[in-house]
Amino acid sequence: MTSNAEAFLRRAEALATPAWVGALRRQGVEALARSGLPNRRVEAYRYTDLTPVARAEFGAAPKALARPELPAQRGRARMVFVDGVLRADLSTLPPRPLSDAAPLLGTVENSATAPVAALNAALAEDGMFLDIPAGENAGLIELVSIVTEGAGPIAFHPRHVVRLGEGASVTILETCEGPDGVGYLHNPVFEVVVAEGATCAHTRIQREGQGAYFLSSIHARIAAGGTYDNFTLNAGAKLARNEIHSALEGPKAACHMNGAQLVGQGQLADTTTFLHHAAPDCASRQTYKSVLTGNGRGVFQGKILVAQVAQRTDGYQMNQALLLSEDAEMDAKPQLEIYADDVKCSHGATIGALDENQLFYLRSRGIPEKAARAMLVQAFLTEAVDGVADETCRAALDEAVMGWWQGVAA
């Protein structure tokens, strides 16, 4: 048994194990016992040490059914989790048992590069199964996760499965929120299966409490002509690690992975992506932007792997960071691994401060310094947010960005 995972493994042993989760849990426990939670000696985690997560003490979710105040519903329907527990009484989308998704579970736990998913597999008890039939346009569906003030230092590991039939489409708006005074762990895993010609647009707004740990892993498989479009806003948690693993498995498939990290005092935000071009004539786009204040630390690691069969690949990756403090830090590691000879791939990274000439220009026209800085920061983030096609999701992102900036500038 690996020492830094003992507490999680003991918790897994104490859980009831329904038949549908048995194989998944065994895979997770075996991987966790073998490798534990990584520290900086593991290359994929050289900038983000998960030892503090292993050392923290977490309890079970409270049995009392807290009823938090929910924001107004934005989409056609929504599914609500409170303190890690699915609440059918607060949801407007009828829950489908996760046991129905059993054949789709457990495709990622054996990988040595997926310890976050292994932790989830060992302890998963609940989650969302969203199954969109072929040809159906499901519209906007919300996934809401709220941690309440009285929850205490809990850990929860939801397993979410999204499957789209041929030609289907769905837009998912995911929000994650919690109180600042609680040190909890939210460890969600998404398994997304996009069939031929289907489209899944997934927007996440992560505003966990300032004492929280947020470890997320998304694994998407996209068939021929399908599209997976992801945008993640990291604006909360003491330590946030957002992993996205996508595989383009059929010709003319597409994947867009974009996002923004808003990192303040005492925070670490890590976005790590792995994009596998496994078929010809596929396209991918990645644009990630980070704004860092105080002694905040940001990380971006992005790898594009182009298999030999993936001729005529079109891949683009850009990571840009804006440092608003001399104590802020940004670490970037873009990677291209190409085995095909007919490809168009590029990547870039820039790190810098606000342009003093632009700031002077705005101030010389009577704009106060705080307002001028806010305008420049918003302009910096606009390119990333404007890539979100759904107006409701884009408005929610704009609101979250403005709320973060007002808190920083206060």
Nearest alpha carbon to residue 106 among 27, 160, 11, 32: 27
Amino acid at site 43:
E
Mean of the pLDDT values across residues 397-401?
91
In angstroms, rounded to a whole number, what is the distance separating the alpha carbons of residues 222 and 277? 10
Higher pLDDT, 5 or 272: 272
pLDDT score at 18: 81
Nearest alpha carbon to residue 188 among 262, 245, 116, 271: 116
In angstroms, rounded to a whole number, what is the distance separating the alpha carbons of residues 271 and 294? 19
Q: Give the domain ranges of the chain.
A: 3-353
Mean of the pLDDT values across residues 58-68?
76
Query: What value does the mean pLDDT of the chain take?
Result: 90
Per-residue pLDDT tens digits for 116-161: 888 998 998 889 999 999 999 999 999 999 999 888 899 999 999 9
CA distances in angstroms from 197 to 133, 135, 200, 221, listed in the order given: 13, 9, 10, 13
Mean of the pLDDT values across residues 311-315?
96
Per-residue pLDDT tens digits for 363-397: 898 898 888 888 888 888 887 788 899 999 999 99
In angstroms, rounded to a whole number, what is the distance separating the alpha carbons of residues 144 and 153? 20
Classify residue 285 by burial, with Cβ atoms within 10 Å: 0-12, 13-18, 19+: middle
Which stretches of 283-374 are assigned E, i.e. beta strand?
A: 283-292, 297-306, 313-323, 329-338, 343-352
Higher pLDDT, 173 or 29: 173
Asked if pLDDT for residue 110 goes beyond 60, the answer is no
**Are the CB atoms for 168 and 138 separated by under 8 Å?**
yes
Amino acid at site 350:
T
Per-residue pLDDT tens digits for 227-276: 999 999 999 999 999 999 999 999 999 999 999 999 999 999 999 999 99
pLDDT score at 267: 95
In angstroms, rounded to a whole number, what is the distance separating the alpha carbons of residues 185 and 194? 29
Classify residue 85 by burial, with Cβ atoms within 10 Å: 0-12, 13-18, 19+: middle
- Per DSSP, the three-state class of 406 is helix
Mean of the pLDDT values across residues 169-189?
94
Mean of the pLDDT values across residues 212-238?
96
Asked if pLDDT for residue 2 goes beyond 70, the answer is no
Taking the model in full, what pTM does it have?
Answer: 0.93
Classify residue 25 by its DSSP letter.
H
Amino acid at site 226:
G
Instruction: Return the minimum-mean-pLDDT range out of 60-74, 296-310, 345-359.
Output: 60-74
**Tokens at 203, concatenated:** 């927007």
Classify residue 399 by burial, with Cβ atoms within 10 Å: 0-12, 13-18, 19+: exposed
> For a pLDDT cut of 90, what percent of the chain falls above it?
60
Q: How confident is the model at residue 331 (pLDDT cuts 50, 70, 90)?
A: very high
Amino acid at site 353:
A
In angstroms, rounded to a whole number, what is the distance separating the alpha carbons of residues 176 and 146? 6
Classify residue 346 by its DSSP letter.
E
Q: How confident is the model at residue 1 (pLDDT cuts 50, 70, 90)?
A: very low
Asked if pLDDT for residue 178 goes beyond 80, the answer is yes
Higher pLDDT, 181 or 228: 228
Mean of the pLDDT values across residues 71-94?
91
Q: How confident is the model at residue 67 (pLDDT cuts 50, 70, 90)?
A: confident
Asked if pLDDT for residue 338 goes beyond 70, the answer is yes
Residues whose CB is less than 8 angstroms from the CB of residue 166 and which lie 6 or more positions away in sequence, other chains included: 134, 135, 195, 196, 197, 198
